[in-house]
Amino acid sequence: MRTGKIIINVLIATTGLLWSCPAVQAGEIGMPDKPIIIGTSNPVEFDHVLHRSLDIPCGECHHDDGHNPRGNEEIFAIVDGKELHCKNCHNKDFANTFLQNRKDIFHTNCKPCHAVGINGNRGPRKCNGCHIKDR
C-alpha cells in the first residue's frame, strides 16, 4: 500500500503548508511571499504578506499606464514580477515631472495610509520605520 501512504503524506504536507500561511490564499502564487527590498542607496523593506493580511487590494499600489488599479486576479497571473516595477513608467521620461522621482512616488503611495491606519492599526511614519539603514 505504498501509493496510499505517499498520497496521505502529500495531503498532510499540503494541508500543513496552507495552515502555516493563512494570509495567503491558494492560487496566490504571483505575490512575493518574503519581504522585498525596494531601492539601493536608501533601501526600504516591504512585506506583501503583512499588507495582504490587511485586505489591501493589489491595485492600491499596482496600476496600469492609465492609472487604473490593476485587479488581484490579473496580478496573481503575472509570471515576471519585473513587469510591475514602478520605474517602468515612473522614470525621467514620465510626463508628470513630480512623479519621476522615487522618493515622491513612494512617499505619496505609502505614507497617507500609514497616517490614517486600518482598524486602528497605523503603519510606521518615522523614517527608520521603513528605511532599514536608519535603524
- Which residues are at the interface with ligand HEC (CB under 6 A)? 30-32, 36, 38-39, 41-42, 44-48, 50-52, 54, 56, 58, 60-65, 67, 72, 75-76, 78, 81-82, 84-90, 96, 99, 102-103, 105-111, 113-114, 117-118, 121, 123-125, 127, 129-131
CB of 18 to ligand HEC, least distance (A): 17
CB-wise, 7 or 50, nearer to ligand HEC? Answer: 50
> Whose CB is nearest to ligand HEC?
39
Q: Do residues 108 and 63 make contact, with C-beta atoms less than 8 angstroms apart?
A: no
Q: Which amino acid is at 7?
A: I
Of 88, 61, 58, the residue nearest 75 (C-alpha): 58
Q: Do residues 77 and 60 make contact, with C-beta atoms less than 8 angstroms apart?
A: no
In three-state secondary structure terms, 132 is: helix
CB-wise, 21 or 32, nearer to ligand HEC? Answer: 32
Helix H, strand E, coil C: the string for 24-54 is CCCCCCCCCCCCEEECCCCCEEECHHHHHHC
How would DSSP label each residue in 69-91? BPPHHHHHT-S-GGGG-GGGTSS
CB of 21 to ligand HEC, least distance (A): 13
CB-wise, 15 or 88, nearer to ligand HEC? Answer: 88
CB-wise, 5 or 103, nearer to ligand HEC? Answer: 103
